[in-house]
Amino acid sequence: MVSFVVYDLTFLVLFSLFVAWFLYKRRGTSGFKREGIIFMYRTQFGIDAINYIGSNFKGTLHFLKYIIIGLGFVLMAAMVWMLGQTVAIYMLFPEITKLIKAPPIAPLIPYFPKLFGMESFFPPFYFTYFIVALAIVAIVHEFSHGIFMKLFKIKIKSTGLVFLGPILGAFVEQDDKSFENKKKVDQMAVLGAGVFANVVFALIFYGLYVAFFFSSFAASGYIFNSYGVAAVPLTNVTGFANHSTGMTEVMTENGTYYLDDGLAIQLVDNNKDYLVVYPEAPAVLAQMRGAIIQANDVKIEGVDKFMEFMNDRNPGDEVRFVTEDVDGVHEYDIALAEHPLNSSRPYLGVVHLVNVPRGAVGRVLGKFMSFKDSSTYYKPTWDGEFVDFILYLFWWVMIINLLVALFNMLPLGMLDGGRFFYLTILGITRSEKAAKRAYKFMGYLILFVFLLLMFMWFIRIV
């Protein structure tokens, strides 16, 4: 069966050829203009719909105005806080670049999880997902700007498309003089309207994601994401050796322990008095991986079924475990050991470590995804590849809408958040001089932070 990647790359090539043909056919026309490496195609498309909504739903739109401005402040604060948190992580935990090889500031491009070895963090990101999500994000963002321009009687000069290679964007072009003559609060509502629409659509696609998940997936296994761990004082370590499993063997006065590639980072930069290690266990020595879907002839649907099975076993029992991951199905014939804390109980040596979200944003996202049990392995109940394709499409449209909303509210000149921040300072100080100084300072500060992050990332990977 031909991999979907082949279809996706074929679509990328055909789409790029179509864009090239489209731009070639419209060269020299009145609405077509090149600005550096960007091509802009101006039209009047969508203005009738913008005018209709902006004229016929004035009461609702005026009600939303202050919600939009409030959301703008929340998104701006969240993005600045996350930027600061990222700097702190890169400064306090230099080993982060060994685990996450992607640069901290990078464009969201198709296949980035595969390019940067982040497939365990993100689902596949095909060009198809990219172009569909980008179209939805750009259209709802710009359309919302246009609706509020109409509401406040700001002249709209044109709508159109922006091309950067096969990457598309959309715009609604206002008359700058007409825009700047409006009240500060109205300008802020127009600026925040785009990200408001993105947040709304992120919530819509979150609902679609959850509904589709529950209708198309069933619990089918127990996910273990680590082996049992222990802390060994460095003073007890007597030596290291390479084990036949590929792990590092840690010999101590009290027994033998193991380090995989992730834990072996401690040997490079360890300023603590102990090592986090894997005690010797059947799962460690067998290098078990994947989600446990079957034990002997018992189907394992989740942690409860796994614990029920293990409670009926004894140390020394031979068990055939079947696991499944992205590489397929694996079988392991394992003799259960004695549990370190109770010799009468069987021990396999697998655990599911729960990643507790940190910070306000992390906790909010954690709540959104809490409808799934993180230790349960879910499989499609019908056509697997197509189900996964739809699920991940909903996920990426949701995430990209949210990311665009956050990024756009950074107080940086080229973004909606730049002028939003300027108008905020102007409203507080009533001084254009103070507002311009604060605006420039914040812009330079953010650019400095971007450069600092990239510098720290670069010097650690070379």
Mean pLDDT of the chain: 87
Those residues whose C-beta lies under 8 Å from the C-beta of residue 184, and which sit 6 or more positions away, are: 423, 426, 427
pLDDT of residue 1: 43
Question: Mean pLDDT throughout 268-297?
Answer: 87
Does 163 score more than 80 pLDDT?
yes
Query: How far, in Å, CA of 295 to CA of 333, rounded?
Result: 10
Domain ranges in the chain? 4-218+379-461, 223-351
pLDDT tens per residue, range 170-209: 888 888 899 989 999 999 999 999 999 999 999 999 999 9
**What is the arithmetic mean of pLDDT over 311-320?**
93
Q: Is the pLDDT of residue 243 over 50?
A: yes
Please determine, for residue 13, whether its predicted confidence score (pLDDT) is greater than 60: yes
What is the CATH code for 223-351?
2.30.42.10
Q: Which residue has the higher pLDDT, 354 or 388?
A: 388
Cα–Cα distance, 275 to 260 (Å, whole number): 12
pLDDT band for position 270 (50/70/90)?
A: low
Q: Do the strands 274-279 and 291-295 form a parallel or antiparallel pair, or are they unpaired? A: unpaired
Contact 336, 317 (CB under 8 A): yes
CA terminus-to-terminus distance, the chain = 40
In three-state secondary structure terms, 103 is: coil
pLDDT value at residue 118: 75
**pLDDT confidence band for 89 (50 / 70 / 90):** confident
Element (H, E) at 372: none
pLDDT value at residue 143: 93
CA–centroid distance for 439 within its chain:
29
Between 48-57, 150-159, 357-366, the lowest mean confidence (pLDDT) is in 357-366
Q: Quick one: pLDDT at residue 272?
A: 75
Q: What is the mean pLDDT of residues 238-254?
A: 85
Asked which of 34-38, 40-44, 82-86, 320-324 is least confident by mean pLDDT, the reply is 34-38
More confident residue, 220 or 362: 220
Most confident of 195-204, 268-277, 346-355: 195-204
Does the pLDDT value for residue 371 go beyond 50? Answer: yes
Q: Phi first, then psi: what are they for 322, rounded to 5°?
A: -115, 130
Which pLDDT band holds residue 358 (cuts at 50, 70, 90)? low
Phi, psi of 460 (to 5 degrees): -90, -20
Q: What is the pLDDT of residues 95-138, one digit of tens each?
A: 666 666 677 777 788 888 887 777 777 888 999 999 999 999 99
Residue 349 CB neighbours (<10 A): 24
Distance CA 89, CA 95 (A): 10
Mean pLDDT throughout 347-368?
A: 71
Close Cβ partners of 23 (under 8 Å, ≥ 6 residues apart): 32, 39, 41, 163
pLDDT digits (tens, 9 = 90+) for 67-81: 999 999 999 999 898
Report percent pLDDT > 70 for the chain. Answer: 94
Alpha helices in 369-431 (DSSP H): 384-408, 416-429
- Concatenated DSSP letters of 158-214: EEEEEEETTEEEEEEEE-HHHHHTS-HHHHHHHHHHHHHHHHHHHHHHHHHHHHHHH
All residues at 6 or more sequence positions from 254 whose CB lies less than 8 Å from its CB, including other chains? 232, 236
Choose between 84 and 357: higher pLDDT.
Answer: 84
User: What is the length of the chain?
Assistant: 462
- Among left, alpha and beta (phi > 0; psi -120 to 50; other), residue 430 is left
* Residues in contact with 380: Cβ distance below 8 Å, sequence separation at least 6, in sequence order: 216, 217, 387, 388
